[in-house]
Structure 1
Amino acid sequence: MAVSPGPRRCGSMSPDGILTEIQVNLLECKVCFEKFCRQQRDRRPQNLPCGHVLCLECITALSHPLLRKLECPFCRQLCSVDSTSHCQVLCDLQELLFSWSSTSSAPPHRAKGGLSLATGVTSSALHLSAAFGGWGTLINPTGIAVLGSSGTIVVVHDGEKSVVLFSPQGRKLNCFGQRGQASGELCYPVDVAVTPCGHVVVTDAGDNAVKIFTSRGNHVLTVKDSFQMPWGVATDSCGHLLVTDVQAGTLFHVKVDYTRGVTLEHHASISELQHPKAVACCQVTRNTAVMEHLTDDTHPPERHRHTRLKVFSQDFRLLYQTDSFSLTLLSTARLNMSGVAFDADGHVLVTDSERGMIWSLGKLQDGPVLTPLVGDHLIRPVGLVSLNNMLIILDSGDHAVKIYSAKSDTGSTIQA
């Protein structure tokens, strides 16, 4: 039996913390986010032939009605519905935990203050208030952005139509971006940003281009000049584009006339970066943050991931930098930074895709102040947006958008 993904961070956790990890990571379906339940037929955990576990309802929904086969949402193995079996061990484990909680005066739960680390620092009181998407609605999502005051959430993923727009409540509003190289089509979308006037900007690594659409999906412009492999994209308050080129090692600054659909200016603002990917622009200070992925020729890259964060001023002067190794010295955890964003106060936020966490690094002028913000219900966060005292996080681990707020009422789950 394999449940994707497995429990994390158990080495230094208390017994209550371990029990909570079991409940979150083993006893809920990672497609629909519903708890397994042996009393409800559709919620019973079922083993797929590949070893992963889904609830019966999701197996039925994902399988072909005639062929009775489905692709495992985690490992992509083709599985026969007739070869699935009831996962008795998870039912027994759930029954055991229920019996324990009914007799214990202190049932397992997550502390109100959030995830406690061995350093003694605790996260702010951010709680999961909504989650939507799931396999099928989103497939291996890679980029997220939010459209201004409307709160419309834009995600790029590997589905048939690569760009999906959701309401703040998780209802699918629109989707566009058919796979292909023609005008208005996308080959391999990586990241997405939105402009103040409501345009959607997508980096297409397959076509080595940046493609601009209206929010309704109408193609406005394709920018291909000088790009070798565009990756991350952000917009400043004027609607100008900041695009990282992972192969050229460059941050490009692009000015566009969206009304006429023409490029006004396109130049390299920063060169000699090492595999830059994620990029963010602070709407308060207008500083730009870029995440570099450093290479280590002496070790396999899958064993020694090393990232460096650089923050530049509005005129692209380097203000400060830090890297994953330096940040590890401030904590007992080895950080694997991937995504980056700014909050409303100008603090730098980063995703930790290995530990499934969101960290605040502060404003960095006097050095980073490492503070965990979110550590619950995240698997592999790859992107985030800070908006109205909320964090909107893209979790590629279970193909979902997750919204965290300071409210104490948790557990609201919306399925698009």
Structure 2
Amino acid sequence: MDKSPGLPGCSYLNPERTLGEIRINLLECKVCFEPFNSEQRGRRPQNLCCGHVLCLECITALSHPLLGKLECPFCRQLCSVDSTSPCQALNDLQELVLPWRPSSPDRPHRTSSLTRAALQLQTSFGGWGTLINPTGIAALGSSGTLVIVHDGEKRVVVFSTLGRKLHSFGKRGKAVGEICFPMDVAVTPAGCVVVTDPGDRAVKVFTSRGDHLITIKDSFQLPWGVDIHISGHLLVSDAQAGVLTRMKVDYSQRVIVECHKAISDLQCPRAVACCRLTGNTAVMEHPTDVPHPAEGRPYRRLRVFTKDFHLIYQTDSFSLTLQSTVQLNMSALSFDRDGAVIVTDPYQGFIWSLGKLENGPVLTPIVGNHLIRPVSLVLLNDMLITLDGGDHTVKIFSNKPE
């Protein structure tokens, strides 16, 4: 069976979709996820000495101001800023496949209605070194303690909401008690920390202090998102198998009591969230067999199920875009205390409320400033807390005056 040449894993691509894949996989910086632009100094693609390519703005942001060096966020090689060079090949490719480009950045201008979003930034902490490419965040009860997974030497970091680092655990690796590549994290009502590790094709459970309890490997191909069902069971999405697994674990005995497929017809499911009020479960799918909408933006599908996993609503990024003045690109998700679905837009740096989807979506921007690339979020008391992968920080928003 033939496959289209070029990008790996992309079969039977039509020209429009191929261009979309090129824009996403080659012509944007994989740190800030902004398109490269040779006409803007900060967005010019630059080669590191290790061969990876970042935009000049990210190289400047990640480098040590005195030593003039940075650690490559992909291979960890130490690179000198002075040794970087323009990536002419990507500039030429951009000229070839994007003959027309607006003079302004690819990101749309934010309208006044978006900048007047409901929540305001209260504080932020972290930054490169403290956090390295963070991917998941969860709250430890209502105590104000935050659990974050990232690409550091110890993969799980625990902070107070004031930004004080309390402790860390989960050494990098595949041995017992170690974590290879963490993607998401959840905290059980009993305070156990659950981490999905697609690098080890496993789900790993620890105490809140970092003691290893159990590793679950045989049930998953590529575990991705995790949350706690209203029943207390674990919900884990498997991006490769296309299923949502529900598990009951006896943490004191360190055994799996029950494990079954709650939903089995998903397409590359990633983020998953369960509503504390209704028990509804939302899943974000990343289908690969759907043509990309205009401008090469990725297609996302959001499905909401009852607590018994019956589908009650489905929408997608293209349909939601038709209802708004900006192109909506969904990624992470959560529920607010009233049962409304909250989603992040990592391309435009927004957080949106979609309302209670059983009655149809009502798009409302709730964060419109101070975000670069929100990758995960959690609601705690009256605060919305998000991980910003663009500058490797935790940012806390609320409707209280700053």
Range of TM-score over shorter length: 0.7 to 0.9
The one-letter code matched in structure 2 to 1:214 is T
How far off is 1:196 after superposition?
0.7
How far off is 1:294 after superposition?
1.5
For residue 336 of structure 1, the aligned residue among 326, 329, 341 is 329
Which residue matches 2:140?
A: 147
Cα distance in 2 between the residues matched to 1:264 and 1:347: 32
Conserved 8 A contact 1:153-1:168: yes
Which residue matches 1:132?
A: 125
Query: Is 2:362 aligned against 1:408?
Result: no
Residues 278 and 123 of structure 1: CA distance in aligned 2, closer, same or farther (over 3 Å)? farther
Which residue matches 2:71?
A: 71
Which residue matches 1:314?
A: 307
Cα distance in 1 between the residues matched to 2:314 and 2:57: 43
How far off is 1:206 after superposition?
1.0
Query: Is 2:399 aligned against 1:393?
Result: no
Query: Is 2:182 aligned against 1:189?
Result: yes
Cα distance in 2 between the residues matched to 1:56 and 1:394: 17
Cα distance in 1 between the residues matched to 2:122 and 2:324: 28
How far off is 1:146 after superposition?
0.5
For residue 59 of structure 1, the aligned residue among 59, 65, 72 is 65
Conserved 8 A contact 1:140-1:399: yes
Cα distance in 2 between the residues matched to 1:249 and 1:302: 27
Which residue matches 1:198?
A: 191
CA deviations on 1:323-373 (whole Å, 9 max, x unpaired) are 101100111211110001001111100000111100000011210000000
Conserved 8 A contact 1:197-1:239: no
Which residue matches 1:18?
A: none
The one-letter code matched in structure 2 to 1:212 is V
Conserved 8 A contact 1:196-1:237: no
The one-letter code matched in structure 1 to 2:253 is R
CA deviations on 1:192-235 (whole Å, 9 max, x unpaired) are 00001100000010111110000110000111232111000001
| Segment drifting more, 73-82 vs 282-291 | 73-82
Which residue matches 1:355?
A: 348
**What TM-score do you get using the length of structure 1 for normalisation?**
0.73
Which residue matches 2:111?
A: 117
For residue 180 of structure 1, the aligned residue among 173, 178, 185 is 173
Q: For 1:364-403, list aligned pairs within 5 A.
A: 364-403=357-396
Conserved 8 A contact 1:278-1:291: yes
Which residue matches 2:249?
A: 256
Please state whether the residue corresponding to 1:176 is helix, strand or coil.
strand
The one-letter code matched in structure 2 to 1:215 is S
Residues 160 and 74 of structure 1: CA distance in aligned 2, closer, same or farther (over 3 Å)? closer
Conserved 8 A contact 1:50-1:79: no
Query: Is 2:274 aligned against 1:268?
Result: no
The one-letter code matched in structure 2 to 1:262 is V
Conserved 8 A contact 2:63-2:69: no
Which residue matches 1:164?
A: 157
Which residue matches 2:22?
A: none
Cα distance in 1 between the residues matched to 2:77 and 2:308: 49
Query: Is 2:224 aligned against 1:231?
Result: yes
Conserved 8 A contact 2:203-2:217: yes
Residues 395 and 49 of structure 1: CA distance in aligned 2, closer, same or farther (over 3 Å)? closer
Residues 78 and 362 of structure 1: CA distance in aligned 2, closer, same or farther (over 3 Å)? same
Which residue matches 1:11?
A: none
How far off is 1:386 after superposition?
1.3
Cα distance in 2 between the residues matched to 1:291 and 1:186: 24
- How many residues are paired up? 333
RMSD, matched Cα: 3.1
Please state whether the residue corresponding to 2:337 is helix, strand or coil.
coil
Please state whether the residue corresponding to 2:286 is helix, strand or coil.
strand
- Percentage of matched positions with identical amino acids: 63
Residues 188 and 387 of structure 1: CA distance in aligned 2, closer, same or farther (over 3 Å)? same
Cα distance in 2 between the residues matched to 1:229 and 1:314: 24
Conserved 8 A contact 1:49-1:79: no
Which residue matches 1:211?
A: 204
* Unpaired runs of at least 5, structure 1: 9-24, 27-47, 85-114, 410-416
Conserved 8 A contact 1:49-1:83: no
Cα distance in 2 between the residues matched to 1:301 and 1:211: 39
Please state whether the residue corresponding to 1:365 is helix, strand or coil.
helix
Conserved 8 A contact 1:116-1:123: no
How far off is 1:81 after superposition?
6.9
CA deviations on 1:11-59 (whole Å, 9 max, x unpaired) are xxxxxxxxxxxxxx99xxxxxxxxxxxxxxxxxxxxx995656589952
Cα distance in 2 between the residues matched to 1:74 and 1:302: 26
Residues 230 and 383 of structure 1: CA distance in aligned 2, closer, same or farther (over 3 Å)? same
Please state whether the residue corresponding to 2:318 is helix, strand or coil.
helix
Conserved 8 A contact 2:346-2:373: yes
The one-letter code matched in structure 2 to 1:323 is D
**What TM-score do you get using the length of structure 2 for normalisation?**
0.76
Please state whether the residue corresponding to 1:327 is helix, strand or coil.
helix
Residues 302 and 396 of structure 1: CA distance in aligned 2, closer, same or farther (over 3 Å)? farther
Which residue matches 1:80?
A: 80
Cα distance in 1 between the residues matched to 2:62 and 2:309: 53
Which residue matches 1:346?
A: 339
Cα distance in 1 between the residues matched to 2:287 and 2:281: 19
The one-letter code matched in structure 1 to 2:265 is E
Conserved 8 A contact 2:59-2:70: no
Conserved 8 A contact 2:159-2:167: yes
Q: Which has the larger radius of gyration?
A: 1
The one-letter code matched in structure 2 to 1:150 is S
